[in-house]
Amino acid sequence: MKLKTVLYITGIIFIILITSLIVYIIYTQNKITNAFDTENRPYKHYIGYIDQDKALLNDKYELCNKGRLVHTYSSASLDAYAGSKKHFRDAVNTTFNNKTNYTDSGYLNFRFLVNCEGNAGWFEIIEMNLDLKETPLNKNMVDDLFKFTSNSKHWDIVSYNEKPYNYYMYISYRIENGKVTEIIP
Amino acid sequence: MEKLQKLSLSILLTIILFSCKEHSKLSKKERRTLAEKTYNEAIQYRQGSTAFQNGIVDALTIDPEYEQAVHELSVAHLKRGMPHKWLPQYNKAVALDSVNRIPWRGYLYLWFYRDYKKAIADFDASDTLTPDFIDAPQGHSVDYWRGIAYLGLKDYKNSIAYFEKHITKETKEFGEDYVDLNAFLYNGIAYFESGNIEKALYNFNTQLKYANNLSADAKYYKAKILISKNKKKEALKYINEAIYDYEIGYNNKRDYVETLRQLYYKDLLELKTIITAL
């Protein structure tokens, strides 16, 4: 009799715990679903999202791993430069700074993706003045730096546990009187 | 399950609509409390995600003057290379809390846009805003950051003046061992680049003293100084040690972006080649 009672109470407690767990899971799932529901909300995509249908050079390469991206939080930064950023900076000096005579000043940003084979594509361009306000820059200058930046030889393959991934990257050129004076990141 | 989700969504929307109607009836303090709650729920999600951004918008709908939320809405743009969207939003936070946000903006101009002049202008403005207090965005005094910004401009006189001020103040108040090691490194670099080798050496040695003799940067510059003193053997010793320190991770670097005067492995190898050829 006592054993029956113990089993009965244990069973009730077990059912309550399981029910609570199910309710909690459903509540949490709904909460997350609602939080990420973008209908009638101002932000339709995460910050930094690149619309691959509208991006430049979007048909040259394929993304690997079903399009999964890494480094969307703040770009691959220094890991992205092939060799090192020193190589990249040297290449900017030899192929752009020492060979062009532009006079514009401003910031020119490229946001893009690099696939698991180290091929760069899916570019978005932001042209700004030195006060960070969107302003058109000299078209030929932008084209030159776009051609340079989209050259895949400048970008490394980024891997985790020896598996290569697609990654997000941005480059910001600070340009003063037609010369790149700073490269970020 | 689908029905349950729809039901939950309907209930939530009803609550939101009801809440919206009620916001205007809440006191300022109650609005802030509710906005903080909404904000704290939003920031559980990944920074810059739709849930994060839209949740913060909800918090600001409740209390548009909630400065922390206004600021946080800008941050992901900064980290992801979208300054044209970062700055207008950040400046809304400046309008609500200029005392804290102006020196912080200086710090962000310095590292994320390498705009040394705008950074210095913001650090200088913080002196006026808080005349009795030296602000310290991201844990370092504005004097330290000004030292770096002036070094970026190659204005060695001002760079050294601010590093010396920072080091003297920190040493007096807390002791030399409390001073950030990079203050000695950058002060040393400013002296080195301006041609004051002895002062440079003193700062590199001080850095090494408090860094357990581990710093690829300090040893790289010491090797350069030893070259200028025709001490090839010692220069080679230091560059070899610098390469070792670099390989085990003791080099000057920072998160998200390259640091000022960041050294790369290639820099060290090139200097070793030069020393070997002497």
Taking an 8 Å cut-off on Cβ atoms, the answer to whether B48 and A47 are in contact is: yes
Question: Which chain B positions have a beta carbon within 8 Å of A72's beta carbon?
Answer: 80
Question: Which chain A positions have a beta carbon within 8 Å of B113's beta carbon?
Answer: 107, 132, 172, 174, 182, 184
Q: Convert the pLDDT of each residue in B235-246 to its tens digit.
A: 999 999 999 999
Q: What is the least distance, in Å, from the CA of A86 to any CA of chain B?
A: 7
**Which helix (H) or strand (E) element contains residue B98?**
helix B98-112
- Of A149, A79, A158, the closest CA to residue A115 belongs to A158
pLDDT at residue A71, rounded to an integer: 97
Q: How confident is the model at residue B11 (pLDDT cuts 50, 70, 90)?
A: low
- Of B255, B265, B248, the closest CA to residue B138 belongs to B255
pLDDT at residue A86, rounded to an integer: 95
Question: Which chain A positions have a beta carbon within 8 Å of B39's beta carbon?
Answer: none
Taking an 8 Å cut-off on Cβ atoms, the answer to whether B81 and A30 are in contact is: no
| Pair of tokens at residue A29 | 């799932």
Q: Convert the pLDDT of each residue in B246-257 to its tens digit.
A: 999 999 999 999
Q: Kindly list the distances between the CA atom of residue B28 and the CA atoms of B16, B64, B95, B98, in Å, as whole numbers in the listed order.
A: 19, 11, 19, 21
Question: Which chain B positions have a beta carbon within 8 Å of A126's beta carbon?
Answer: 81-84
Higher-confidence residue of B11 and B77: namely B77
Neighbours of B80 (CB within 10 A): 24
Contact present, B160 and B194 (Cβ < 8 Å): yes
Q: Which of B57, B80, B115 sits opposite A48 (nearest CB)?
A: B80
Q: What does the mean pLDDT of chain A come to?
A: 96
Q: Convert the pLDDT of each residue in B85-134 to its tens digit.
A: 999 999 999 999 999 999 999 999 999 999 999 999 999 999 999 998 89
Taking an 8 Å cut-off on Cβ atoms, the answer to whether A73 and B265 are in contact is: no
Which of A132, A134, A175, A181 is the best substitution to test chain B (most B C-beta atoms within 10 A)?
A132
Neighbours of A132 (CB within 10 A): 23
- ipTM of the shown complex: 0.91
**Whose structure tokens read 């209930």?**
B11
pLDDT at residue A177, rounded to an integer: 97
- Of B266, B104, B77, B50, the closest CA to residue A75 belongs to B77
- Where do the H-state alpha helices sit in A36-156? 85-92, 139-149
pLDDT at residue B14, rounded to an integer: 52
Q: What is the CA angle A143-A146-A147, rounded to 5?
A: 85
In this prediction, residues A168-175 reach a mean pLDDT of 98
pTM for the full predicted model: 0.89
Beta bridge partners, A108, equal: A127, A173
pLDDT at residue B192, rounded to an integer: 98
Q: Kindly list the distances between the CA atom of residue A82 and the CA atoms of A69, A76, A119, A157, B34, in Å, as whole numbers in the listed order.
A: 19, 12, 11, 8, 48
Domain residue extents for chain A: 50-184
Q: What does the mean pLDDT of chain B come to?
A: 93
Using omega within 30 degrees of 0 as the cis cutoff, is the peptide bond preceding A185 cis?
yes
